[in-house]
Structure 1
Amino acid sequence: MKRSTYFNKFIILIIVLMTVGCDQASKELIRQKVEPAAFIPVIKNHLILTNVENTGAMLGFGQDFSPILKIFLLQALPMLLLLIMLYRTISKTNSNLLLISAFSLVIGGGLGNLIDRIAYGSVTDFFQIRLGFLRTGIFNIADVAVTVGVLMFVLLIVKGNRFTI
């Protein structure tokens, strides 16, 4: 039984909007309730809650770029790429449901961080995982969505699915 293209478009928009909404709501809560650079153990010292403003990209990359370069590389270019991805994902609604879900998570996460960069000039990060010697960078819900979306995409490739977006 083939899914309706309207159903697929609905799923895409719901995933994108829910991802952006959860990301923005969590960041606003952190900005209001958690002091900058706080160290709040949530699960012993394994899951840490903090409040860090990242003016660069992943793990602070690009923090020292000039303002013009930052606007181009961290706002204009990502906006263009996310809009292209959204258009292509919505227009290819006959794709595998896991594939469009993966792309929708990446788009929603990307938009969540892009909103921060445009509105605040930085991205609010607040989680860190520490398991023995393993420590993640400080991240947020948008980062989790992008990571899960990319992992789903990789899993589909490993399983041998052929597709185009």
Structure 2
Amino acid sequence: MMDQTEKLVNVIQGEYHISDDPQCVLSTVLGSCAAVCLTDPVARVGGMNHFLLPHRAGKDGEDVRYGAYSMELLINGLLKRGARKNRMIAKLFGGAKMITQLRDIGVSNVAFAKEFLQNEGIPLASQSTGGNAARRIRFWPTDGRVKQFIVPGEVEAVAPVIPPAPRPAHGEITLF
């Protein structure tokens, strides 16, 4: 439960948000998407992104829906607010396999995020990835705390299709 003085900011697909407000709580819901939460505990500033796919080549890749661009915006935004890359700490969430018939985009998102963070020299302090359930994340950007809630999966029951009974014809009916 949130404190009455806290300000909840929803970070939806394809967005990122940075804050140095101790009352700010960043929140998102993830399925196969991934979210990276970054904090500089000395500068007391942090941010969260929420990306749908790892990357895309060319000008089309310059969109926050893609992890490569979203990570650059998040890190650069933190640097502008006084964070230092050598003090940043990362936490990674999401990457679930939500639809079993499709390719596992979640695995690609998580692998991308881990490789990106490693290449940037930013340690991954914790993660909760994979599985087949959605997650709701609450992140306090100034101190790096995270609460995760597993969103119960809804099993969609498919009822068998039963054709309607034929209407009786008017007039004579022959019974066998």
**Which structure has greater helix proportion?**
1
Task: Return the TM-score normalized by structure 1.
Answer: 0.30
Select the structure of larger CA radius of gyration.
2
The structure with more strand, counted as a fraction of residues? 2
Structure possessing the higher relative contact order (Cα contacts under 8 Å, 6 or more residues apart): 1
